[in-house]
Amino acid sequence: MNRTSRSKTLFTYMAPAILTNACIFLFTIVDGIFVGQGVGSDALGAVNIAMPLVMIATAVNMLTSIGGVTVAAIRLGRGEKEGANQAFMHSLSSNLFFALMITLACVFFTTPLARALGASDTYLSMAKDYIFWWGLFAIPSALSLNFQSFCRNDGSPGLVGISTVTGTVLNIFLDWLFVFPLKMGVMGAAVATGLSQTVTMLIVLGHFIARKGELRIRPFKVEGKLYRKVLFRGLPEMIAQFATPVTTICMNHVLVQNIGDVGINAYSIISYVSSLAMSVLAGASEGLQPLFGQSYGAKHEKDLKYYFRAGMLICLFGSAAIIALSILFDHQICALFGADSTTYAYTIRHLPQYAWAFIVAGLNTMISAYLYSTKRSTHAIVLNTARSLVLNTLIITGLPAVLGVLGGAIVWFTFGISECLVLVLAAILLKQSERHGILYR
């Protein structure tokens, strides 16, 4: 393709993906806004404590969904339509199985989950409410993500955007209805999210029922090898998704030890800003994933390189814009979540110390997507394991412990420090994997 065609294709896929991820984030932030305004700061803290569980569930959904679309995109690029459909059905069935396991865990192990996430007596009851009621909708939530991923790869990225915007608008209305007039508190916020995601799932399901693309929901031949391939291709993205919940859990524990409830409540607001940034950046990488995969499958190297450079620039400038806006409107952000005066002042002071990391995190996210979309899953697994499980844990928990009395001050910088170390590793892995050019397999 020429440069104009590439730019048009880039916009066609990336804009809906960014919009979709921003709206998915709004499912969560709207919960926080209405809970903070309608119930109070402690309720907002309880929802924040439960969020890592939602993020972990999303990571498991990514394992099956992104793994499936990565295999399907390459096969579609080669013209292998039947093979792409097999990848779709294996991804869908495994997605459904894991979602069922999550539902059972949330329903029958609510208290242990809340305690494991760091809920003290102040937050335990409300955190349990959110976990239980959110868990009842884990299956439609998982299927929504799966259908969206394949719908985007099957030539209908616009429908994905429409479905998510519709679900977001519905979520806002239901949050207002359940939290304010009906006084359902934290439970109401969880139910509103679940119902909205169910509607989103049904809209995107229409693409497959109407047979608008190449992929079909139909009986399929079970292949253990293909299940393994789907899970292996999705493993890098699943590991990457653990970065936010692991970071949140580590931050919550360190803040409890060094600062107390005011730190938890302030971080509940800062983490919403962080989640928005990471959702937009992940949307950019997810929008490019079909283009990476199809260009790789068709061996169009010029297209592949163009999309990668464009993705890196978009992440760089996009993250800088998010940082500027979060600092410029920090007072409004705090007011939006109903922060009390102490939380308000503390959040404004420490938000810039945390937000600068978004620039580095965006570049790491795009490099990861580029690697796993071009059959370099092993490199992506190494990168995302270091990013999501190793370096962030060591830096966030280790630096404050080593620095003692200074730990409370340094904790807000630890996320950025760990992302910088990851970027060094990403550059090394990228250079090493292309030392003889891109290998097409």
DSSP 330-368: HHHHHHHTT--HHHHHHHHHHHHHHHTTHHHHHHHHHHH
Angstrom CA distances, 272 to 25, 33, 385, stand at 9, 10, 23
Tell me which DSSP letter residue 438 carries: P
Q: Could you count the other beta carbons within 10 Å of the beta carbon of residue 403?
A: 14
Confidence of residue 253 (pLDDT cuts 50, 70, 90): confident
Tokens of 4: 């104009």
Max intra-chain CA distance, the chain: 64
Say how many residues make up the chain: 441
Q: What is the pLDDT of residue 112?
A: 92
Q: What is the pLDDT of residue 320?
A: 93
User: At a CB cut-off of 8 Å and minimum separation 6, what does 120 contact?
Assistant: 256
Round the average pLDDT of the chain to a whole number and report it: 87
Confidence of residue 371 (pLDDT cuts 50, 70, 90): very high
Q: What is the pLDDT of residue 143?
A: 94
Q: What is the pLDDT of residue 118?
A: 77
* pLDDT over 90 (residue 185): no
Residue with tokens 């499912």: 27
Residue type, 174: L
Give the pLDDT confidence of 212-232 residue by residue, as tens digits. Answer: 888 899 999 999 999 999 998
Give the pLDDT confidence of 268-301 residue by residue, as tens digits. Answer: 888 888 888 888 888 888 889 888 988 888 888 8
Confidence of residue 1 (pLDDT cuts 50, 70, 90): low
Tokens of 438: 């891109």
Question: 190: closest CA among 203, 202, 175?
Answer: 175
437 forms beta bridges with 435
- Region of 213 (left: φ > 0; alpha: ψ -120 to 50; beta: rest) is beta
435 forms beta bridges with 437
- Region of 183 (left: φ > 0; alpha: ψ -120 to 50; beta: rest) is left
* pLDDT over 60 (residue 366): yes
Q: Could you count the other beta carbons within 10 Å of the beta carbon of residue 404?
A: 9
Q: What is the pLDDT of residue 50?
A: 86
Q: What is the pLDDT of residue 354?
A: 93
Angstrom CA distances, 71 to 77, 212, 297, stand at 10, 20, 10
Residue type, 144: S
* pLDDT over 60 (residue 86): yes
Confidence of residue 184 (pLDDT cuts 50, 70, 90): confident
* pLDDT over 60 (residue 357): yes
Give the pLDDT confidence of 27-40 residue by residue, as tens digits. Answer: 667 777 778 777 77
* Span 172-200, average pLDDT: 90
User: At a CB cut-off of 8 Å and minimum separation 6, what does 332 contact?
Assistant: none
- On the CB side of 339, CA atoms within 13 Å amount to 25
Q: What is the pLDDT of residue 280?
A: 87
CB environment 23-55: b (16+ within 10 A), e (fewer):
bbbbbbbbbbbbbbbbbbbbbbbbbbbbbbbbb
User: At a CB cut-off of 8 Å and minimum separation 6, what does 83 contact?
Assistant: 75
Residue with tokens 């995109």: 73
User: How far is Cα 173 from Cα 231, in angstroms, rounded to an integer?
Assistant: 37
Residue type, 68: G
> Using an 8 Å Cβ cutoff, are 215 and 154 in contact?
yes
Question: 30: closest CA among 171, 148, 154, 196?
Answer: 171
